[in-house]
């Protein structure tokens, strides 16, 4: 792989590799190990919520606040920890994220009461969101970016099954602490990471607060559409106004004004919404149109998601040689085909194929469009671009199931 020829403050040409500034090359598999376990926090508890509720003497609905807290944590933590990376360097950001993950894991492992579990899930989410963004910022080619995003998809596809097995073998607390596996990768990477910040601007505290408010409001839109929708509009307007006075603040204007970044982020949002929406719609359709048990349906859902995650690595690696437009057309077509197939068919194999197509599109899109979005901004703003891009993808993951439930 060739080194990037782009200097600081310049955008990289199409197809060029993009190492993080002043960072030695880190083996890609360690980056994948640090990023992938985030998916355990999203999907790992899916099959054990009833067990958790029974042990905590509460309802399953109440327990799902732990999952909601994890979703909020990764949405908020993604841009916040990217900001820490920009202003304090990779090593300090890794240490801070690792501390959050460790503290959260210790809480869920040692304090089996609902408030501690919710806080522990949120802390792990904040930390693993940062570790994932840092891992993506440390990649040096489309192939390594594809491996990192594929690790998220592959872990996510097997997380419900792994979570259930860990619950049976140990307990549900160990299942909730599975995101802490990312600390193994962190221990290897932290010694090789750069200590140099990518931004010399002063920290924009108000910008960080406003972005956190925007993300929090957006996360709750599917749950409380009216109130959260109004708050989303108000906080976005306040952030846009702040951006005019602080263009090099927590949300860099050069990033959000880049057409390539905006298009890449919107496409990632849409592909994620379709994929995660079908992850709820397809099992429901299989339940309605087959005699399969819930366990059989859960097992059947593993292969299309696993296939999508595995193939995405190949797709992202090849995308650097193909060009932007053909890749965009292909991924959008795969996602659209998945929607049409899932909507028009009641045959089990076709429903599973629809999920596989959407999974390939979303997992590949996360990697491909992350590469596109970071090439379009100056090197010093790459961490911010990664954080904001991942935020859009995660919001798609949150909105997809909500849209399906409305339909």
Q: pLDDT of 176-191, one tens digit each?
A: 999 999 999 999 998 8
Is residue 12 within 8 A of residue 373, CB to CB? The reply is: no
| pLDDT for the residue 200 | 65
Q: How far apart are the first and last CA of the chain?
A: 47
> Distance between CA atoms of 301 and 356, rounded to whole angstroms?
9
| pLDDT for the residue 13 | 41
Helical pair 114-137 and 182-189, crossing angle rounded to 10 deg: 40
Question: Could you write out the DSSP letters of every residue in 161-188?
Answer: HHHHHHHHHT-HHHHHTGGGGHHHHHHH
Using the CB atoms, write b or e for 125-161: b if 16+ within 10 Å. bbbbbbbbbbbbbbbbbbbbbbbbbbbbbbbbbbbbb
| pLDDT for the residue 308 | 85
Angle at 252 between CA 247 and CA 253, to 5 degrees: 55
| Yes or no: domain 28-204+246-406 corresponds to CATH 1.20.1250.20 | yes
Please give the structure tokens belonging to residue 297. Answer: 């349906």
Q: pLDDT of 16-42, one tens digit each?
A: 444 444 445 788 899 999 999 998 988
Maximum Cα interatomic distance, the chain, rounded to a whole number of Å: 61
List helix spans (H) across 58-141.
60-88, 90-110, 114-137
Please give the structure tokens belonging to residue 318. Answer: 């090849």
| pLDDT for the residue 85 | 82
Q: Which residues of the chain have pLDDT under 70?
A: 1-24, 195, 197-201, 294, 405-407
> Distance between CA atoms of 372 and 380, rounded to whole angstroms?
16
* pTM as predicted: 0.80
| pLDDT for the residue 11 | 41
Domain boundaries, the chain: 28-204+246-406
Q: What are phi and psi of 16, to 5 degrees?
A: -80, 150
Please give the structure tokens belonging to residue 361. Answer: 């599109």
């Amino acid at each position: 792989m060739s080194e990037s020829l782009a200097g600081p403050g310049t955008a990289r040409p199409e197809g060029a590799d993009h190492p993080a500034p002043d960072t030695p090359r880190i083996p890609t598999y360690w980056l994948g190990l640090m990023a992938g376990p985030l998916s355990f926090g999203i999907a790992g508890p899916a099959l054990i919520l009833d067990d958790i509720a029974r042990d905590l003497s509460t309802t399953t609905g109440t327990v799902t606040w732990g999952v909601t807290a994890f979703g909020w944590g990764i949405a908020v933590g993604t841009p916040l920890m990217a900001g820490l990376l920009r202003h304090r360097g990779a090593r300090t950001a890794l240490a801070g994220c690792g501390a959050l993950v460790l503290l959260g894991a210790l809480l869920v492992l040692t304090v089996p009461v609902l408030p501690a579990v919710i806080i522990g899930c949120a802390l792990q989410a904040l930390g693993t969101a940062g570790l994932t963004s840092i891992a993506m910022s440390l990649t040096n080619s489309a192939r390594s970016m594809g491996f990192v995003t594929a690790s998220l998809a592959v872990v996510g596809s097997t997380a419900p099954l792994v979570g259930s097995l860990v619950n049976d073998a140990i307990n549900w607390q160990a299942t909730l602490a599975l995101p802490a596996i990312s600390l193994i990768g962190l221990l290897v990477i932290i010694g090789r990471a750069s200590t140099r910040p990518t931004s010399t601007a002063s920290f924009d505290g108000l910008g960080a607060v406003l972005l956190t408010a925007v993300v929090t409001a957006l996360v709750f839109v599917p749950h409380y559409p009216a109130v959260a929708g109004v708050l989303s509009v108000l906080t976005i307007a306040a952030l846009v106004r702040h951006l005019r006075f602080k263009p090099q603040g927590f949300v860099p204007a050069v990033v959000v004004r880049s057409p390539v970044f905006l298009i890449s982020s919107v496409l990632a949002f849409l592909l994620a919404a379709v994929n995660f929406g079908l992850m709820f719609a397809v099992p429901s359709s299989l339940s309605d149109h087959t005699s399969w048990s819930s366990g059989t349906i859960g097992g059947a859902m593993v292969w299309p998601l696993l296939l999508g995650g595995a193939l995405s690595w190949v797709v992202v690696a090849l995308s650097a040689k193909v060009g932007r437009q053909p890749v965009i057309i292909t991924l959008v077509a795969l996602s659209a085909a998945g929607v049409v197939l899932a909507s028009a068919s009641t045959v089990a194999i076709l429903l599973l194929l629809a999920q596989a197509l959407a999974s390939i599109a979303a997992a590949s899109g996360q990697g491909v469009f992350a590469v596109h979005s970071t090439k379009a901004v100056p090197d010093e703003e790459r961490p911010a671009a990664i954080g904001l891009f991942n935020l859009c993808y995660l919001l798609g993951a949150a909105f997809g199931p909500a849209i399906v439930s409305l339909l």
